[in-house]
Amino acid sequence: MTKRRDFIKTGVMGTAGIAIGGLSLSAKSYNSVIGANDRINLALIGIRNQGAVHIGNWSSIKDSDNVVLKTICDTDERLFDSRTKLALEKGGTKPATEWDLRKVFEDKDIHAVSIVTPNHWHALATIWACQAGKHVYVEKPASYNIWEGKKMIEAARKYNVFVQVGKNNRSSPNVREAIKFIHDGGIGEVFMARGLCYKARDSYGIAKDSQPPAGFHYDIWLGPAPMRPYNEKKGHYNWHWYWDTGNGDTGNTGPHQLDIARWGLKKDEHPVSVYSTGGLYGLNKEESAPDKKTPGKLVYGDVEAYGKDKTSQETPNTQTCSYRYKDGTLLEFETGDATQIRKVIKVLRSEIFSTVPMAILKFQVTHGKLSDKGKKSHLLLPKNRLRIRKQIIIGILSKLYAPGKKSLCIAISVKVFYHLILLIWLIFHTVLTDRLSLMGQLRSSLMIRRLIPC
């Protein structure tokens, strides 16, 4: 029989999910063996956006792994009806609701908690859970700052509980295989890693301070953050862009890519120096006239965005960081606004690369290998890089000179001239960069390079 603590210890948690090795029982036979005393009672703290994903995933393993979502907790009671309905649909049981996470920790029947709060709550919620003897899954980033993260580790060790952070790529077979390939010397000695995190984000606008809506326990939501008046543009989801509660995209989606870069370098240590610079660019600095304001558009997070209008955002939308380790190894990380990049990619796809298979352009990795028309081959072999470049060249030629034309007529135009220059560059690049090794994008936009002798 799998004991409760062994169950949590051996489980591999992805995005609010657990994979149990060695158990092949059906849901019916499993539950006939495992009794109520071995059931895992779980509480979810934070039920907006990503919290709703957690509800679905935890509920999906209710029968197979004897996990019950006992309680959902959020400072905004307005979410309770929709989320309890979701849990009932997904898991067949209706969880209890709480708006104060301290009540969750007081419940002796709860064995583990899944924390999906704003960043400024991660450390304190985790430490309180450890003190209450509960195992923890906490979303990335692990903590708001380094000092808080150290205290989380101390609490986990002191109270002998398991704490896992949501670095989901660590559980991805594709990424794990690719990292192993690198660690085994597949691309030689790695001296630098680069992580990229580009998101298409418009302005989240500005608003005057106001009173929090009924049912939203704003004082509890602020928690360990400094007290400040309620402002809807600094609350739900938008907390990411203000220093008291968030860390910008570098601390939002960025931890996924940064973690892979550090993992690829085999660095389980702090760098000896860190340099970072950035700012808020591409948005209007002056407030637009009422008739010139961009209409609000509902985006991810159930909040509105307003094009390039003025914003009260504090964190950078463009940032670059450089980490140097004691052995000289470098890690570079960039965060930026992908709105303009998307426009460029759209033009490239429509004007130049429309005939090139997207599997080639995206370098989509499947178990660390490139899928190309049903064939699988390692990305790093020179012959395959040469083949990829040839296909891109063929794609450009096909675009310039479509089948069916009786003759090749080069019109003197800016467009044709541009294409010819690009074609010459590609041929030049193919001939002279035969030894270049590139571990393209792993799904996380990571690029890991090796030093090539001149």
CATH number of the domain that residue 150 is part of: 3.40.50.720
Instruction: Specify the number of domains making up the chain.
Output: 3
Q: Which residues contact 396 (CB under 8 A, 6 or more apart)?
A: 352, 353, 419, 422, 423, 426
Give yes or no for residue 193 having a pLDDT over 90. yes
Specify whether 126 is located in the same domain as 254: no
Specify whether 270 is located in the same domain as 123: no
Give yes or no for residue 36 having a pLDDT over 50. yes
Specify whether 312 is located in the same domain as 202: yes
Tell me, yes or no, whether 346 lies in a domain. Answer: no
Specify whether 200 is located in the same domain as 299: yes
Point out the least confidently predicted range of 58-67, 137-146, 390-399. 390-399
Specify whether 196 is located in the same domain as 308: yes
Specify whether 181 is located in the same domain as 301: yes
Tell me, yes or no, whether 102 lies in a domain. Answer: yes
Point out the least confidently predicted range of 93-107, 146-160, 415-429, 434-448. 434-448
Given this model, what pLDDT does residue 290 score? 84
Domain boundary among 139, 166, 193: 166
Given this model, what pLDDT does residue 337 score? 84
Specify whether 200 is located in the same domain as 157: no
Tell me, yes or no, whether 15 lies in a domain. Answer: yes
Specify whether 320 is located in the same domain as 208: yes
Given this model, what pLDDT does residue 342 score? 64
Q: Alpha-carbon distance 405 to 389, whole Å? A: 25
Specify whether 247 is located in the same domain as 314: yes
pTM of this structure: 0.71
Q: Alpha-carbon distance 440 to 437, whole Å? A: 9
At 200, is the pLDDT very low, low, confident or very high (cuts 50, 70, 90)? confident
Specify whether 160 is located in the same domain as 299: no
Residue written as token pair 């657990």: 18
Give yes or no for residue 449 having a pLDDT over 50. no
Specify whether 211 is located in the same domain as 294: yes
Mean pLDDT of 412-421: 52
Give the residue numbers spanning the domain of 240. Answer: 173-340
Domain boundary among 136, 166, 196: 166
